[in-house]
């Protein structure tokens, strides 16, 4: 029955009645420890009963001039990280410290920024805004989720396991990067957009002075893995004390810039061409030097008979000039022409 509510007192919601089961209640049924009466349907509690305390938010965006592969890689990272946020592309003319203000406006305390140069080189900044530290990487060998080789699959928004190489605990600069990666790539517990399942692994392996990123799906309980993607290689350049700048904490001595790498390739190609030309010149010199000059054979002149020498005659008198022979038929032709003209005039 409807009840009148008193003035000034907020009306409370009426309690839902539990539906009764169609079957009869068994007499031996014991009451549920949670307070549910046997024979009634109870609403299960929410999956995540905890409180969202770790408010890590990651801003993932890029500069203008990136190619399609970088755009797909950025989108893949956003789908794998439910605690990430997106933003519009940043202009090339803007300074990098402007990103700290963008993160503050987006309420983010971590940032992954993709910077493209010369439309062929890709750099990735990983930063803890606004105080630092931050690291700059050169991204190589990018493969995205959409490629056919990646046959794995995982639940959208599920929490990943982070697996690190043992070298991350040995070197101090790798220890800083490990803490950065943990805070950025690990999904916070009880995040509203996350799922309380762990079905994939992020692996960070150090090989050949580079960090190799892989993402695997956990299929069975015996830890059999299938790669999901994306995959890429990070070549560390520098670690800075501040966010997108500041004092340099570490500089990679094994790093070689892409411009230097391309220059060395061009120099090696030019050296090969020079070597080929030198080999050709040496072969020409050898061919010229290999010809043996044979001396004259004295027996070749035995059967030669010398020709009779004619006396030289010197002509002292000028030779007579030949008489000019006139054409005898020419005056007759002239007379005939004159006669024809006279005949025409008379007529």
Across-strand partners of 103?
Answer: none
Q: What pLDDT is attached to residue 324?
A: 74
Q: Are 215 and 200 spatial neighbours (Cβ–Cβ below 8 Å)?
A: yes
Q: What are the mean pLDDT values of the chain's consecutive 10-residue runs (347 residues total)?
A: 55 54 46 56 63 90 93 94 93 89 94 93 94 94 87 90 94 95 93 89 95 92 86 96 94 94 94 94 83 76 82 82 72 82 76
Q: Are 82 and 194 spatial neighbours (Cβ–Cβ below 8 Å)?
A: yes
Q: Are 162 and 214 spatial neighbours (Cβ–Cβ below 8 Å)?
A: no
Q: What pLDDT is attached to residue 50?
A: 74
Q: What pLDDT is attached to residue 27?
A: 44
**Around 241, how many Cα atoms within 13 Å sit in the side-chain half-sphere?**
4
Q: What pLDDT is attached to residue 20?
A: 52
| Radius of gyration in angstroms for the set of CA atoms belonging to the chain, rounded to a whole number | 48
Q: Are 135 and 248 spatial neighbours (Cβ–Cβ below 8 Å)?
A: no
Q: What pLDDT is attached to residue 333?
A: 79
Burial (CB count <10 Å: 0-12, 13-18, 19+), residue 245: middle
Q: What pLDDT is attached to residue 179?
A: 95
Q: Domains plus CATH for the chain?
A: 58-260 (3.40.50.10480)
């Amino acid at each position: 029955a409807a009840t009148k509510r008193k003035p000034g007192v907020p009306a409370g919601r009426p309690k839902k009645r539990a539906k009764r089961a169609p079957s009869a209640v068994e007499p031996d049924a014991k009451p549920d420890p949670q307070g549910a009466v046997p024979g009634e349907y109870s609403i299960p509690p929410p999956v995540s009963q905890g409180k969202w305390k770790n408010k890590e938010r990651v801003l993932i965006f890029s500069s203008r001039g990136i190619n399609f592969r970088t755009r797909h890689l950025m989108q893949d990272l956003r789908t794998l990280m439910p605690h990430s946020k997106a933003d519009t592309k940043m202009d090339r003319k803007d300074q990098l410290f402007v990103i700290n203000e963008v993160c503050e406006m987006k309420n983010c305390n971590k940032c992954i920024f993709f910077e493209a140069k010369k439309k062929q080189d890709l750099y990735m900044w990983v930063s803890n805004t606004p105080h630092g530290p931050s690291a700059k990487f050169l991204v190589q060998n990018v493969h995205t989720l959409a490629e056919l080789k990646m046959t794995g699959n995982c639940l959208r928004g599920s929490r990943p396991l982070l697996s690190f190489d043992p070298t991350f605990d040995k070197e101090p600069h790798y220890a800083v990067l490990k803490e950065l990666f943990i805070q950025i790539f690990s999904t916070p517990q009880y995040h509203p957009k996350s799922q309380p399942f762990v079905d994939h692994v992020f692996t960070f392996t150090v090989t050949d002075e580079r960090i190799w990123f892989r993402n695997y799906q956990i299929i069975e309980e015996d830890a059999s893995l299938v790669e999901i993607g994306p995959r890429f290689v990070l070549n560390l350049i520098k670690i800075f004390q501040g966010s997108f700048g500041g004092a340099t904490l570490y500089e990679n001595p094994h790093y070689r810039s892409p411009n230097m790498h391309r220059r060395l390739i061009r120099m090696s190609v030019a050296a090969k061409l020079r070597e080929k030309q030198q080999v050709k010149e040496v072969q020409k010199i050898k061919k010229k030097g290999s010809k043996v000059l044979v001396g004259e054979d004295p027996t070749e002149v035995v059967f030669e008979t010398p020709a009779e020498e004619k006396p030289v005659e010197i002509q002292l008198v000028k030779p007579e000039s030949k008489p000019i022979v006139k054409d005898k038929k020419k005056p007759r032709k002239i007379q005939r022409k004159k006669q024809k003209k006279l005949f025409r005039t008379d007529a």
